[in-house]
Structure 1
Amino acid sequence: MPSRRAFLAGILAAASVSRASWADVGDPGYLSAARATDGTYRLCGLTPDGHLVFSLPLPGRGHAAAAHPHYPQAVAFARRPGTFADVIDCGTGVHTARLAAPPGRHFYGHGTFSADGGRLYTTENDLETLEGRIGIWDAGSGYARIGDMPSGGVGPHDLRRLPGSDALVVANGGIATHPDSGRAKLNLPTMRANLTYLDDRGAVLDQIELPEAQRLNSIRHLSIRPDGFVAAAMQWQGAETIYPPLLLLHRLGDGAPQLLEAPWEIQRGLRGYAGSVSFSGNGAEIAITSPRGGAIHRFDGESGGFLGAVAAADVCGLGPAPGGFVASTGGGDILTVAGRSVTRTRHDALQWDNHLVSLT
């Protein structure tokens, strides 16, 4: 829990940012964690065409961030299994509060705000039961911890809010882990991922599981179109000689999910791993990235048909751009993909981490 000093700082910060907006800090389109070539870690704001707006220090390696929907404030999460997340005023670079995971918990590196920005929700692991939990934090009171609720499964990784509501979508990856065992997967014989929809009090609105043949596909990362259409990127935990679909589509209340894949000879190049997922800026396409496969796969947002692959070494971060997508690589590149055009913005001093967080 935050100290009294951090608590008071958070209240003061909330009051100060209430007069500011994201436009006041350069109107970034995305947030991304990065490692600088001097060995330090940063949280960066980027324009839609990949130029740097700000670069703020982090105390360690970051994974993803949650952007406040109204104020230039970000919550930067440590890489799983991290136990802290820092609240940062993106105008001043001041760390105004620190979230500490409760005893016996760790964060999974993702979070999201309620529609009014009053609450932050975080994905967490209960180290005693290995069940997933969603932490609840009061953003208006220095990010004080005010409760939690079940995630609906094991290994909740990403979570997003359904547009126009405070309902949450949770990617329960299904993999039980414990820091004492490193990154060992403790339950593969019984693993079962799911996509769970929760209301803001934790009631399950809908829940879907994958077919038995896809049981070892871990549902990891999410993108949601403004009309509520959900896309999820998956990571295969089964035999390396199997190349399953890695993109899932679903809409609340629609029953079984739709699974998308490229033709076999292209699909196998992803090596069973999708790192990020995003709808295009106009919602007409969906794409996934694979750092292991060095590729971006694009699909039609209505028919689900495969539209083609873009080669990009160590590509992982992905977000919507006005004409298509923006992607980031561990080598420092920001790629803008629109139709058959791919443009590159190079950042020699930065190595981008896993995700681009869209502010749109």
Structure 2
Amino acid sequence: MLTRRQFLIAAAATSSAAVIGYIPFAQSQKHWLVSACSNKNNEHFVAAFDLNGNIINQVKLPARGHDVIAVPNKPGHALVFARRPGTFILEVDFINGKIAKQITAAEHSHFYGHGVLSAKDNILLTSENDFATGHGKIVIRDAQNYQILEQYHSGGIGPHQLGLMPDGNSLVIANGGIQTHPKQPRKKLNIDTMAPNLAYLNIASGQVEDKYALENHKLSIRHLAVSKQGKVIAGLQYQGAKTDLVPLAISHHGESSLRYLSASDDVWRRMNQYTASVCIDDNLAIVAISCPRADLITYWSLKNGEYLNSERFADGAGLTHLDNIYATSGKGRLMTSKITRSANNNNHNSINNSNNDSVANVSFAGLKWDNHLTHIVG
């Protein structure tokens, strides 16, 4: 197995090494939305569709998928990650409707449904479970051939979503704290002792340089997004009593501790102890957090973390941002949410998102979209 250092030396020696990076929205480009989905027969797929809801292509999966990310140097391509405790990642070519490459987890490992591509080092980083030890790990692969280069401890148990920090040197990790084993695929084995944290990993050294925990250890940190300025917003899932009232979102931007976003008790109660996707609109400084068990999409100020507004969207979970925020649901619907900031509010404490501006404009008969959504260049 090549070490990561050997790989980087080899990559630096050739001018043809591919570079993976962020693709900004442009009207001149053709954009597709991509999500994992299931049909009424409990068959699982990943599908690409245009912004008007027309299916471009769909590819059958061996089991249920979870997150999807673009492969920006390959138009029409995306990676789809198996849902925990799955063992596959597929690179899918939606132009031709086929699987281009497949990654299989190493022995005694499974994926947690998430990963990121790094532009700086041309690598894929995934969150995985070493179920022989119960430790979470971050596995680094060559982004071209997906060969494993390095493996590092995630700084906790149950690493879930990952985010690349703007400098490209660090990875932020949502260590959910929940121990699982594929012999009991969806059972949570350590609720009484779970210890979630938000960790920052130095990609070059593999060292966890910082990690932060919440006082309430049953608030599992699961999904996150990173702003262009490096502010991390994370959504939480509560593992305690159903009658408990708990906050469900946090922020971190270099402070000595994690900060809860600001909302009334009524808002936290309505969110029903569960969040799914987190999406940031840097232009409007707005955060969207989906709450599928509450049938809500909630909106927050990126600047100060205050609750702004919400809109009902039955089983709405997947979120991504282009010119607008797009949302998908487990009911097979696509919604385009046209959010504007109030003109008379310099503190960004309110937004306009009336029902006239938010339209569940497409329904996909017989499909249930999974919890995550992305966009790719077609």
Structure 1-normalised TM-score? 0.86
How far did residue 349 of structure 1 move? 4.0
- Alignment partner of 1:292: what SS? helix
The corresponding residue for 1:328 is 328
How far did residue 359 of structure 1 move? 4.6
The corresponding residue for 2:194 is 191
The corresponding residue for 1:97 is 101
- Aligned pairs (5 A) from 1:208-357: 208-210=212-214, 212=215, 214-251=216-253, 253-280=254-281, 282-323=283-324, 325-338=325-338, 339-340=353-354, 341-344=357-360, 345-357=362-374
- Alignment partner of 2:115: what SS? strand
Structure 2-normalised TM-score? 0.82
Which moved further from structure 2: 259-268 or 153-162?
259-268
How far did residue 31 of structure 1 move? 2.0
Cα distance change of structure 1 residues 215 and 359 upon mapping to structure 2, 3 Å threshold: farther
* Corresponding residue pairs, total: 337
Q: Give per-residue Cα distances to partners, 1:180-218, cap 9 Å, x unaligned.
A: 2332222222211111111213122322111x2x22100
CA distance in 2, matches of 1:166, 1:54: 35
Q: Give per-residue Cα distances to partners, 1:298-356, cap 9 Å, x unaligned.
A: 11121222112211111111122424x21110111111122322112222242211101
| Structure with a larger share of its residues in helix | 1
CA distance in 2, matches of 1:326, 1:249: 22
Q: Is the 8 A contact 1:83 1:100 kept in 2?
A: yes
The corresponding residue for 1:134 is 138
Cα distance change of structure 1 residues 261 and 303 upon mapping to structure 2, 3 Å threshold: closer
Q: Which runs of 5+ in 1 are unaligned?
A: 2-14
- Alignment partner of 2:183: what SS? helix
CA distance in 1, matches of 2:70, 2:63: 19
How far did residue 45 of structure 1 move? 2.4
Q: Is the 8 A contact 2:38 2:369 kept in 1?
A: yes
How far did residue 32 of structure 1 move? 0.8
Q: Is the 8 A contact 2:154 2:208 kept in 1?
A: no
Which moved further from structure 2: 257-266 or 122-131?
257-266
Cα distance change of structure 1 residues 165 and 48 upon mapping to structure 2, 3 Å threshold: farther
When the two chains are superposed, the root-mean-square deviation of aligned CA atoms in Å is: 2.5
Cα distance change of structure 1 residues 187 and 41 upon mapping to structure 2, 3 Å threshold: closer
Cα distance change of structure 1 residues 35 and 28 upon mapping to structure 2, 3 Å threshold: farther
The corresponding residue for 2:113 is 109
The corresponding residue for 1:145 is 148
Cα distance change of structure 1 residues 161 and 130 upon mapping to structure 2, 3 Å threshold: same
- Alignment partner of 1:265: what SS? helix
Q: 2:178 matched to 1:178?
A: no
Q: Is the 8 A contact 1:33 1:355 kept in 2?
A: yes
Q: Which runs of 5+ in 2 are unaligned?
A: 2-15, 339-352
CA distance in 1, matches of 2:80, 2:290: 22
